[in-house]
Amino acid sequence: MRTVNRLKAFIKKPHNIILVGLAVILAYLTLFPLFSLIRDTFIVHPSEIMSVKGAAVNDYTLFHWRKVFLDGERSAKLFYLPLWNTVQVSLYSSVIAIVLGGAVAWLVTRSNMRFKKFVSVVFIFPYIMPSWTLAMAWLNFFRNRLVGGAPGLFTALTGIATPNWFAYGMFPTSIVLGLHYSPFAYILIGGILRNMDANLEEAAMILKASRAKILARINLPIVMPAILSTFLLVFSSSMSAFAVPAFLGTPVRFQVLTTQLYRTLNGLNPGYGYIMAVVMIVIGTAILAANQWFVGKRKSFTTITGKSSNSSIVNLRKFRTPVSVVLLALVVAVAILPLATFAIESFIMAPGDYSAKNFTAQFWIGEGAEDIGGGEPGVLRNKYLYLALWNSLKLSVIVSLFAGTVGGLAGYAIVRGRGTKLASFVNNLAFFPYLLPSMAFGAIYLSMFAKPTLIIPSLYGSFALLVLVGTVKYLPFASRSGINAMLQLSGEIEEAGVILGIPWHKRMARIIFPIQKASFLSGYLLPFISCMRELALFVLLITPANRVITTLLFQYNEKGWNQWANAINLLIVAIVLIFNTVINKITGASIDKGIGT
Amino acid sequence: MHRTFKLLTALTLLVLVGPGLWAEPSADLVAAAKKEGKVVVYSITSRIANAATAFEKKYGIKVEAYNLKDGELIEKVSREVGGNIAGADFVISQDSGRVYGQLISTGYLVNYVPDSMKSVIPAKYQNPLVFQYINKVFIFNSEKTAKPVIKNVWELTEPKWKGLVQFKDPKLEGVNQNFLTMLTSPEWSAKLDKAYQDLYGKKLALTTKNAGYEWIKRFFQNGLILGNSDTTISENVGIKGQPATVMGLFVYSKTRYDEKKNLALTPMTEVEPFSGFLYPAFLSMTKNAKNKNAAKLFIEYLLTAEGFAPWSKDVGAYSSNPSVPIDKDDHPMSFWAPKLVDEDPAYLFQNRADVEEFVNTISSN
């Protein structure tokens, strides 16, 4: 009887139902693939009959494990060295993202800096662009004579030849990834700073605490969870970034795990790749565990209560103009300049020649000509481009609707059920996809869903598979912003609704969502944007007929057909910006508004 | 004897009557193909898009043509045919070791030689049917000198060429890996050994298994620059105004960009013991082709001079149909074959994985 009552009480709370549902579905979509992945490290795949001599497909073998871990210098070159490079790149880029994104977030939300509106809009551009296009921009600027050809713009203008370490390899890879992911920091940290209760700061000021002290003792501790989330996100993202190290590392043969992963998964030894994926997951999980241990020690970080909260603005005084100008220059350099070079490069016929007679609209509206590229028509006349663009849009919208909704609910349920084992289990499950490197995640879903499993029919080649993988992969963004939003929201607000007998769905729609609209909406927007510019996740799952715009873009980049690639890149950025603006106009919210000015 | 006679007759007729005589596919096939109305092709050569446009115009059959990388194409086809999922009706593939091992021996690709071509295309190109040969040769920046800059491949391991030679990362393209693998074969390592002695007048001191491995090692360790694409490499090598004379080993047909892109690219054809390498692209139907007749019709079309026009109007493409003319500035296959390293599928299947591992070990930092 007591158990029944307890069960009744359990079911009565909506968040428990959500938690149980999510636990089952997510376990199937994230843990089950993990087992499939581990199994893949022990079997002989079709392309491995060339290397595992005498074996038949699907035989069990320890060959991959031995080769990756225990084969002396070969293992070092195959695995240990790339692993070390990966760890370094991920660390550096996380630091860069947090420092830069955090600083910008603070300046925009808490200071009287100038150009706020502009900076807050433009600062997220690097995240909208597919990450490797920033790498291409880096090469346009800083490449040196190593790769032959014309030197980069920087050398052309200053006459200074860039050293190899600056132009290629670890350094630029870390910088580019750091810049690409700093909007994470900006959005997550800025969201908290903006909503922070000014009473805390005011209290400190009344007690005559110095600005530095307030920053260290109040602002930092409050944003700490956001900083840790950012670190986790950026570290994991950088770890699974593929295209940036591929473009910046190849000239100096700088290898990271993903470049090895790509080679092995597409080449003769996918087994090696699956092991590397397992290693990356282990690293990611370790960071997640550390993160949770740290966050778990903190009691609460409610910042929105029923009371009014007016954040105070710091006066930068004599630094106001210099700081504003420096930041403006920086933002223009990393966000606008690359776009400008893409625009110019998309109109240039012979490489490196910027005279007027060399400009052509061929790559936008021209018909195919065999002596340029393979007779590919200009992007606006290319039927495959429209098909891919349509696929991308459809996919991104559907994925963002699914991920945003599920993630918002997850955030709600996890916070309401806080402290229970179930909640923390779902919390971990909802975040787990993030730790799976995109390419490996795609590979697992490929091997799982290429044949019918349990209740699901074979999905390979279908659009549904792309939606599924995208939704699961981007759920962490949405659930993070959902959790952040809910954590700030004092429970008393919903309790007031409960006391008045307002049903759950109305409480969600009328109270909780409206208050934290910005945070919840960024849970929709981040998956949308990420999906629009995602490559590694889909590259293995896509069949030519349902390919998306980024695979087309990457193909052009890889082939060195830069004019088409630059044109497509501009199209992607333009489309995302249009969506952002439209959503802004309709709902009054947008990513940059998440922090607001 | 009989066959040769028929071939000769066909060729004579061809010369007399001109192209088009053998090129007419049967009316039944055309009708059946038109009924299907559509055909899907995956191809490693991007110029398929132009052939597709011409084919659409000629027959009114819609073509979906997708350009994929070689490894990618092999993966997709084995997934799609293996899972009986509708994909390509026919494919143009390359990388013979893997194509044989993963696609042909599994029955995923089905050989189809049009009747009209059986007496035209040499028997050795018929199973599996070769679409064309492609060559990658040593090409240098000829802005300052038109004279070939090397005579022997061992020169590329000398300090004077350090950091001045480009090659597409073999991780990114199977055929580059195949070329390196072939160098370790008894035949080519013996030739490399001899070339070393011819150049330096002394025996090669080995630190690896044989002269092939040795050359690969020294070639890579002499600051070889790996690129992402042959197009980019052709620009990096060919662009004018560079302080040093640079060179690369890349697709010969890229020299077609010379004029439009203002590049200075000249190939070398007299390098000992090889001036580059050569590889076939195969033309095959898939086991689960949906539009079988349209695929057959397109395959037949691609083997004619008309269908091959997007390729033959430039250097570096050699149809398996010997009567299809090549670019006027190019040399025929008979000129190239003895100068270039060819693929041997059996040897590749056995040794590719080892060489790939070797290359990965010496080439990463």
Contact check, Cβ <8 Å, A368/B53: yes
Rounded Cα distance between B201 and A230, Å, is 63
Q: Are residues A155 and A294 in the same domain?
A: yes
Rounded Cα distance between B21 and B323, Å, is 12
Confidence band, pLDDT 50/70/90 cuts, at residue B134: very high
| Nearest CB to B50 within list A73, A370, A451 | A370
The C-alpha angle with vertex A474 and arms to A470 and A477, in degrees rounded to 5, equals: 165
Sign of CA dihedral A426, A428, A431, A435: negative
Predicted confidence at residue B120, as pLDDT, reads 92
DSSP 8-state symbol, A483: H
Rounded Cα distance between A342 and B154, Å, is 41
B278 CB neighbour count, 10 Å cutoff:
23
In chain B, pLDDT over 90 holds for what percent of residues? 68
Confidence band, pLDDT 50/70/90 cuts, at residue A178: very high
Q: What is the pLDDT averaged over residues A70-98?
A: 93
CA distance readout (Å), B55 to A265, A368, B234? 35, 15, 30
Q: Are residues B78 and B204 in the same domain?
A: no
In chain B, pLDDT over 70 holds for what percent of residues? 93
Is B352 inside any structural domain?
A: yes
Rounded Cα distance between B304 and A222, Å, is 72
Do A483 and A434 touch, CB atoms closer than 8 A?
Answer: no
Total domains in chain A come to: 2
| Burial class of residue A172 (count of CB atoms within 10 Å of its CB; 0-12, 13-18, 19+) | buried
Is the pLDDT reported for residue A303 higher than 80?
A: no
Q: Are residues B180 and B242 in the same domain?
A: yes
Q: Are residues A144 and A292 in the same domain?
A: yes
Question: How far does Cα A586 stand from its chain's mean position?
Answer: 25
* Peptide linkage before B122 cis (omega within 30 of 0): no
Interface check A65 vs B, CB under 8 A? no
Rounded Cα distance between A581 and A588, Å, is 9
pTM of the model: 0.84
For all residues of chain B together, what is the average pLDDT? 89
| Burial class of residue A291 (count of CB atoms within 10 Å of its CB; 0-12, 13-18, 19+) | middle
Rounded Cα distance between A312 and B249, Å, is 64
Is the pLDDT reported for residue A593 higher than 50?
A: no
pLDDT one-digit tens code per residue, A204-219 = 888 888 888 887 888 7
Predicted confidence at residue B94, as pLDDT, reads 96
Do A153 and A140 touch, CB atoms closer than 8 A?
Answer: yes
Is A382 inside any structural domain?
A: no
Q: Are residues A122 and A245 in the same domain?
A: yes
Mutate to test the interface with B, among A63, A74, A268 (most CBs of B within 10 A): A268
For all residues of chain A together, what is the average pLDDT? 83
Is B336 inside any structural domain?
A: no
Which value does ipTM take for this structure?
0.80
Is the pLDDT reported for residue B351 higher than 90?
A: yes
Do A435 and A285 touch, CB atoms closer than 8 A?
Answer: yes
Predicted confidence at residue B55, as pLDDT, reads 95
Mutate to test the interface with B, among A68, A79, A253 (most CBs of B within 10 A): A253
Number of alpha helices (DSSP H) and beta strands (DSSP E) in chain A: 32, 0
Confidence band, pLDDT 50/70/90 cuts, at residue A595: very low
Rounded Cα distance between A445 and A541, Å, is 8
Output the domain CATH number for residue B155.
Answer: 3.40.190.10
Helix (H) or strand (E) holding B251: strand B247-251
Rounded Cα distance between A326 and B277, Å, is 53
Rounded Cα distance between B279 and B274, Å, is 14
Is the pLDDT reported for residue A86 higher than 80?
A: yes
> Which residue range forms the structural domain that includes residue B212?
135-278+341-363
- Specify the range with the lowest mean pLDDT, choosing from A214-218, B73-77, B250-254: A214-218
Rounded Cα distance between B348 and B354, Å, is 10
Q: 3-class SS at B109?
A: strand
Q: Show residues of chain B in contact with A266, CB under 8 Å.
A: 71-72, 75
Q: What is the pairing mode between strands B276-286 and B90-93?
A: antiparallel
Sign of CA dihedral A334, A337, A340, A342: negative
Predicted confidence at residue A390, as pLDDT, reads 93
DSSP 8-state symbol, A196: -
Do B267 and B139 touch, CB atoms closer than 8 A?
Answer: yes
The C-alpha angle with vertex B255 and arms to B302 and B45, in degrees rounded to 5, equals: 30
Confidence band, pLDDT 50/70/90 cuts, at residue A329: very high
A313 CB neighbour count, 10 Å cutoff:
12
Q: 3-class SS at B325?
A: coil
Of A298, A330, A352, the last residue of a domain is A298
Is the pLDDT reported for residue B201 higher than 90?
A: yes
Is the pLDDT reported for residue A143 higher than 50?
A: yes
Q: Are residues A285 and A150 in the same domain?
A: yes
Q: Show residues of chain B in contact with A553, CB under 8 Å.
A: none
Q: Show residues of chain B in contact with A64, CB under 8 Å.
A: none
| Nearest CB to B260 within list A268, A349, A557 | A349
Is B99 inside any structural domain?
A: yes
Q: What is the pairing mode between strands B225-227 and B265-267?
A: unpaired
* Strand intervals (E) in B80-239: 90-93, 109-110, 130-141, 165-168, 225-227
Q: Show residues of chain A in contact with B314, CB under 8 Å.
A: 370-371
Is A247 inside any structural domain?
A: yes
Q: Are residues B293 and B238 in the same domain?
A: no
Is A406 inside any structural domain?
A: yes
Rounded Cα distance between A127 and B22, Å, is 57
B53 CB neighbour count, 10 Å cutoff:
17
Rounded Cα distance between A17 and A27, Å, is 15
Side-chain half-sphere of A156: how many Cα atoms within 13 Å? 15
Is the pLDDT reported for residue B8 higher than 70?
A: no
From the CA of A120, how many Å to the nearest CA of chain B? 35
Between A133 and A300, where is the model more confident? Answer: A133
Is the pLDDT reported for residue A307 higher than 60?
A: no
Tokens encoding A489: 């929201």
Is A101 inside any structural domain?
A: yes
Interface check A460 vs B, CB under 8 A? yes
Confidence band, pLDDT 50/70/90 cuts, at residue B16: very low
Is B50 inside any structural domain?
A: yes
Between A379 and A374, where is the model more confident? Answer: A379
Rounded Cα distance between A136 and A143, Å, is 10
Total domains in chain B come to: 2
Q: Are residues B264 and B358 in the same domain?
A: yes
Confidence band, pLDDT 50/70/90 cuts, at residue A596: very low
Q: Are residues B146 and B265 in the same domain?
A: yes
Is the pLDDT reported for residue B301 higher than 90?
A: yes
- Specify the range with the lowest mean pLDDT, choosing from A265-274, A447-456, B72-81, B334-343: A447-456
Q: Are residues A412 and A294 in the same domain?
A: no
From the CA of B243, how many Å to the nearest CA of chain A? 9
Is the pLDDT reported for residue A512 higher than 60?
A: yes
Is the pLDDT reported for residue B21 higher than 50?
A: no
Q: Are residues A114 and A227 in the same domain?
A: yes
| Burial class of residue B322 (count of CB atoms within 10 Å of its CB; 0-12, 13-18, 19+) | middle
Of A273, A298, A323, the last residue of a domain is A298
Output the domain CATH number for residue A468.
Answer: 1.10.3720.10
Rounded Cα distance between A363 and A347, Å, is 7
Confidence band, pLDDT 50/70/90 cuts, at residue A587: low
Question: Which of A:139-198 have CB within 8 Å of B?
Answer: 145-150
Between B217 and A186, where is the model more confident? Answer: B217
Interface check A561 vs B, CB under 8 A? yes
Is A95 inside any structural domain?
A: yes
Between A129 and A39, where is the model more confident? Answer: A39
Tokens encoding B277: 């390498």
Find, among B311, B336, B364, the residue nearest to B48 by Cα: B311
From the CA of A282, how many Å to the nearest CA of chain B? 24
Q: Show residues of chain B in contact with A143, CB under 8 Å.
A: none
- Minimum Cα–Cα distance from A452: chain B residue: B83
Neighbouring residues of A386: CB distance < 8 A, sequence distance ≥ 6: none
Do A561 and A152 touch, CB atoms closer than 8 A?
Answer: no
Q: Are residues B272 and B297 in the same domain?
A: no
pLDDT one-digit tens code per residue, A112-131 = 888 888 888 888 888 877 88
Contact check, Cβ <8 Å, A460/B352: no
Tokens encoding A300: 């609460």
Neighbouring residues of B335: CB distance < 8 A, sequence distance ≥ 6: B269
Q: What is the pLDDT averaged over residues A430-443?
A: 83
Find, among B364, B365, B315, B339, the residue nearest to B170 by Cα: B364
The C-alpha angle with vertex A148 and arms to A144 and A152, in degrees rounded to 5, equals: 35
Contact check, Cβ <8 Å, B86/A253: no
In chain A, pLDDT over 70 holds for what percent of residues? 91
Between A583 and B8, where is the model more confident? Answer: A583
- Show the DSSP H helices in B159-291 as ranges: 174-183, 186-200, 211-221, 230-238, 258-261
pLDDT one-digit tens code per residue, A531-573 = 888 888 888 788 877 889 998 888 888 887 888 888 998 888 8
Tokens 């299947």 correspond to: B349
| Nearest CB to B314 within list A370, A460, A559 | A370
Find, among B355, B365, B352, B358, the residue nearest to B71 by Cα: B352
* Peptide linkage before B310 cis (omega within 30 of 0): no
Q: Show residues of chain B in contact with A352, CB under 8 Å.
A: 239
Q: Show residues of chain B in contact with A551, CB under 8 Å.
A: none
Is B353 inside any structural domain?
A: yes
Is the pLDDT reported for residue B20 higher than 50?
A: no
- Minimum Cα–Cα distance from B259: chain A residue: A371
DSSP 8-state symbol, A458: P
Beta-carbon pairs below 8 A across chains A and B: 183
Between A196 and A143, where is the model more confident? Answer: A143
Residues in chain A: 597
Q: Are residues B154 and B222 in the same domain?
A: yes
Rounded Cα distance between B4 and A596, Å, is 81
Interface check A312 vs B, CB under 8 A? no
Q: Are residues B159 and B188 in the same domain?
A: yes
Mutate to test the interface with A, among B40, B106, B232, B315 (most CBs of A within 10 A): B232
From the CA of A78, how many Å to the nearest CA of chain B? 7
From the CA of B352, how many Å to the nearest CA of chain A? 7
Q: Show residues of chain B in contact with A461, CB under 8 Å.
A: 80, 83, 85-87
DSSP 8-state symbol, B224: P
Q: Are residues B239 and B304 in the same domain?
A: no
Q: State the greatest distance between any 2 C-alpha atoms of chain B, in Å, as a whole number.
A: 68
Q: Are residues B203 and B350 in the same domain?
A: yes
Do A149 and A360 touch, CB atoms closer than 8 A?
Answer: no
Rounded Cα distance between B267 and B295, Å, is 36
Contact check, Cβ <8 Å, A544/B239: no
Contact check, Cβ <8 Å, A376/B166: no
Q: Are residues B114 and B238 in the same domain?
A: no
Interface check A543 vs B, CB under 8 A? yes
From the CA of B15, how many Å to the nearest CA of chain A? 27
Predicted confidence at residue B314, as pLDDT, reads 84
Is the pLDDT reported for residue B18 higher than 70?
A: no
Rounded Cα distance between A277 and A284, Å, is 10
Helix (H) or strand (E) holding B43: strand B38-43
Rounded Cα distance between A50 and A55, Å, is 9
Do A389 and A397 touch, CB atoms closer than 8 A?
Answer: no
From the CA of B33, how many Å to the nearest CA of chain A? 21
Q: Show residues of chain A in contact with B66, CB under 8 Å.
A: 384, 544-545, 547
Interface check A282 vs B, CB under 8 A? no
> Which residue range forms the structural domain that includes residue A98?
84-298
Q: Are residues A293 and A414 in the same domain?
A: no
Is B74 inside any structural domain?
A: yes
Of A272, A298, A324, the last residue of a domain is A298
Q: Are residues B8 and B128 in the same domain?
A: yes
Tokens 């695995």 correspond to: A79
Amino acid letter, residue A459: L
Interface check A544 vs B, CB under 8 A? yes
Helix (H) or strand (E) holding A224: helix A220-240
Rounded Cα distance between A67 and B246, Å, is 37
Predicted confidence at residue A312, as pLDDT, reads 66
Is A58 inside any structural domain?
A: no
